[in-house]
Structure 1
């Protein structure tokens, strides 16, 4: 890599690190200042969504200029960081719908969490725009005020199916890893999620998160708001809801909870070799 191409990548990396650091500090302040648990969680959801969307705005720049492979490496590392730092926040609305279905939460709280996430995800664009407007690197030239283009490369119904199936697979993997508790569960989960994003990249953009898609692509040229909602909200949420019921199927439960024979070096944290 020569200096001309390497410098913009350094600028993008520093912006992502700065965004992560600011979010980390904001979380610490919220945890110290706000004592009421649910109100604190709402702020944490807003911060998580802002961090997610802020970093992913810059990841678009990385993907456009340095390729999907570089984008995937960044996303993999960030997903691990988010898993380790967000606590109970998810930055994603369909996890709250899952909680309602499973009796772990109520609709009012799910709505408030989603509202907090949308607020964080949408407001963070002003921060990103301010950074892009500085045009520190050539990759940010005219980026702050350019017209955005949708990532949807297939008909709306296909896009919804892609987002739905991939979200369902992501959620099934996360639930399985949560119950199986292998070593490196976070890294395995991140690898699966990143792989699915890359697989869907040229079809729907691979968002698998309605708030992320809304922050980055709502109102962009290439789809209407209704089409956007069908693909990124209805598609992803339907996939998430489907995962709740699929995970309860006897075949999957047998695999997750069934007896296992120790063989060689086990990667499972709570099983002896």
Structure 2
């Protein structure tokens, strides 16, 4: 239980440090630089460090700490609720940034900057977490350091099935994101956290349920058991295909590529009422005159 308490304290420390980084960069950088670089870097750093520690608990805590997957799933839901409330609009996910680009919500330069910041954030998160584990504050970290060099691939099924699983998870996540994009934060955050928790519980035994190319790259690409191309197909192409399918199903088209709706017929929601045009002829003139004379006439005594 002491090891779990140390991990929970680590989660709060990571969120606090990344929140301070966001607060500082917001005051020192321009809004464009903050939105494209600093915010995404801080969000990716926070997400990567939290997920690496949580993954360590899921793998070692089951037999080393005596707690089951219910503890890990509860922590996952609480963490993603905290992430959603503190990310300040950052996605920390390359497929979400690409979705914004395809929806014409972001230009090419801003999208490229976001992708670079997400890659740098996850890389920094992996390095800092490795340094934190080397301190061996708990017996979990000691075991993690012993098996770190012999980690195995997170793909525990066939390659095509694994790519389908990651693509399906990405498809469902992006559908929820598109549906809730205009909802209030107080509703959007818990629904997204519950969606991520459900998808992780369902798809975790097959692929680890990352559905985030940057996070998967920092977490499992260096492990033995699968080739680099296998990882690319499952953790890059799978989520990308799922995002495109969700966008096409929800929008009916991809605005960046073409404007024509491919799935749904566009009908005008507002009907213009038909108006009758009345042409006043000469016969109406006496009527107006009589009305005018009647209104202007003075009452007789």
- TM range, smaller chain: 0.7 to 0.9
Residue number among 230, 235, 254 corresponding to 2:233 in the alignment: 230
CA distance, structure 2, for counterparts of residue 157 and residue 181 of structure 1: 37
**1:182 positional shift:** 9.4
Pairwise CA RMSD: 2.1
- Structure 1, unmatched stretches of 5+, are 1-5, 259-273
Residue number among 155, 159, 162 corresponding to 2:158 in the alignment: 155
CA distance, structure 1, for counterparts of residue 20 and residue 92 of structure 2: 17
CA distance, structure 1, for counterparts of residue 38 and residue 138 of structure 2: 32
CA distance, structure 2, for counterparts of residue 123 and residue 202 of structure 1: 27
CA distance, structure 1, for counterparts of residue 17 and residue 169 of structure 2: 30
Residue number among 28, 33, 41 corresponding to 2:28 in the alignment: 33
TM-score of the two chains, using structure 2 as the length reference: 0.77
In the TM superposition, what are the counterparts of 1:126-145 in structure 2 within 5 Å? 126-144=127-145
Residue number among 198, 201, 212 corresponding to 1:195 in the alignment: 198
Q: Deviations over 1:227-272 (max 9, x none)?
A: 111111110111111111111259x99xxxx9xxxxxxxxxxxxxx
CA contact (8 A) 1:48 1:89 kept: yes
Residue number among 38, 47, 64 corresponding to 2:42 in the alignment: 47
1:9 pairs with 2:4: yes
CA distance, structure 1, for counterparts of residue 125 and residue 183 of structure 2: 36
Query: Could you tell me which residue of structure 1 aligns to residue 272 of structure 2?
Result: none
CA contact (8 A) 2:153 2:226 kept: yes
CA contact (8 A) 1:133 1:142 kept: no
In structure 2, the residue corresponding to 1:203 is in which secondary structure? Answer: helix
TM-score of the two chains, using structure 1 as the length reference: 0.85
**1:183 positional shift:** 6.2
Query: Could you tell me which residue of structure 1 aligns to residue 290 of structure 2?
Result: none
- Structure 2, unmatched stretches of 5+, are 62-66, 253-260, 270-301
CA contact (8 A) 1:97 1:241 kept: no
**1:102 positional shift:** 1.3
In the TM superposition, what are the counterparts of 1:82-93 in structure 2 within 5 Å? 82-93=83-94
**1:169 positional shift:** 0.6
CA distance, structure 1, for counterparts of residue 183 and residue 82 of structure 2: 21
Query: Could you tell me which residue of structure 2 aligns to residue 22 of structure 1?
Result: 17
CA contact (8 A) 2:136 2:142 kept: yes
| Distance of aligned partners of 1:129 and 1:144 in 2 relative to their CA distance in 1, 3 Å threshold | farther
In structure 1, the residue corresponding to 2:93 is in which secondary structure? Answer: coil
1:165 pairs with 2:165: no
1:119 pairs with 2:120: yes
Q: Deviations over 1:11-51 (max 9, x none)?
A: 111111111111111111111111x2221121110111011
Residue correspondences, number:
247
**1:189 positional shift:** 2.0
